[in-house]
Amino acid sequence: MCTPHATGAETPPTLHPDTAQPSARTQFIRPPYLRPGDTVGIVTPARKLSEKADTAKVRERFESWGLKVKFGPHTADREQPYFAGTDAQRAADLQAMIDDPGVKAVVSFQGGYGSVRLLPLIDLSRLREHPKWVVGFSDVTMLHLALGRLGVESLHATMPGKFRFGSEETADAIVSDEALRSALLGLRQRIDTGPHPLNCPGTARGRLTGGNLAIVCSSLGTPEEPDFDAPTVLFIEEVGEHMYRLDRMMQQLARSGKLAKCKAILVGHFSDMTGQKHFGITDPYDIVAQYVRPLGIPVVFGLPTGHEDPNVALYMGREVTVTVGETGAVIEF
């Protein structure tokens, strides 16, 4: 058993009560993997694109993988102060991609904030009838959580807004892109990580949920809250948060009893955190460790997933086996 580590917009629509229905006991549906010639639909459910966003190069990247691309009408909409179109417009783009039988995966161009505002306006249950991969991370966490409640697997992976081209492309960025391609095609079934001093050893199996920590916490008490009563492997990552807010979020997970129900925990990138001097702790992992190491379950620190490269892909909603030992950790999908 591990021990604690020493630390020195527009008017919101009326919410529909059936946005997501608890269905953890329902058999999960796995969308078909993509094949060459399939079409991916790209939408922007949250923040609008920057002026330098290059949709043509994004199209070329997917086409180099043998895939076709269809952009939603408001993908590059910049009329609103923050969002890529109104809630109704963004929801219509997303629903159209979900309903289009020719689209085999729905990819969010980028994150930001705003996906949660679409939940009352869209019918995700159509994905149980005609499953396809919903792809993204960060703000897209809310869609992953909603799909988890509906019993449909989804893909936590890099997004077109994170693609790098030409001189800006790095080796780590290439790893992120390849992880997305491989996951879409069903070629990635295992992740190996090296040892980490904060890891907790053991083996556990459960259904993978989580994503951005702030969004996971914001889902508690809503229809999208993960079903922690089912065997759960929780993944968390974060970006740009003050250290005291990180501690507060971990307090929420702990005091709500959610952490104690987890079978294993995966800790990804915690990027561009602030307030280290003010809070007196330099490494955000030290804060997370205070809450997860006493649980006596396998814990993986340093999973290369989140708001920096490399950003390896995760199949959310899938039962995974987590094995942690002295030489590192293995996550098998």
User: What residues contact residue 106 under an 8 Å CB cut-off, 6+ apart?
Assistant: 40, 41, 43, 94, 97, 98, 132, 133, 134, 135
CA distances from 288 to 192, 199, 247 (A): 21, 11, 8
DSSP annotation of 121 reads: G
Tokens for 128?
Answer: 């149980």
**Which one of 224, 225, 237, 238 is the catalytic residue?**
237
> Which amino acid, one-letter code, is at 149?
R
User: What residues contact residue 245 under an 8 Å CB cut-off, 6+ apart?
Assistant: 214
DSSP string, 135-160: EE-GGGHHHHHHHHHHTB-EEE---G
Residue 307 among the catalytic residues:
yes
**Which one of 156, 219, 307, 308 is the catalytic residue?**
307
**Which one of 108, 138, 176, 219 is the catalytic residue?**
138
Residue (of 91, 6, 50) closest to 286 by Cα position? 6
User: What residues contact residue 86 under an 8 Å CB cut-off, 6+ apart?
Assistant: 10, 80
Residue 237 among the catalytic residues:
yes
Whole-angstrom distance, CA of residue 161 vs CA of residue 166: 15
State the burial class of residue 239 (Cβ atoms within 10 Å of its Cβ: 0-12, 13-18, 19+): middle
Number of CB atoms found within 10 A of residue 171's CB: 8
Give the start-end residues of each E strand in 100-246: 103-108, 133-136, 154-156, 190-193, 202-212, 232-239
Whole-angstrom distance, CA of residue 132 vs CA of residue 126: 10
Annotated active-site positions, please? 138, 237, 307
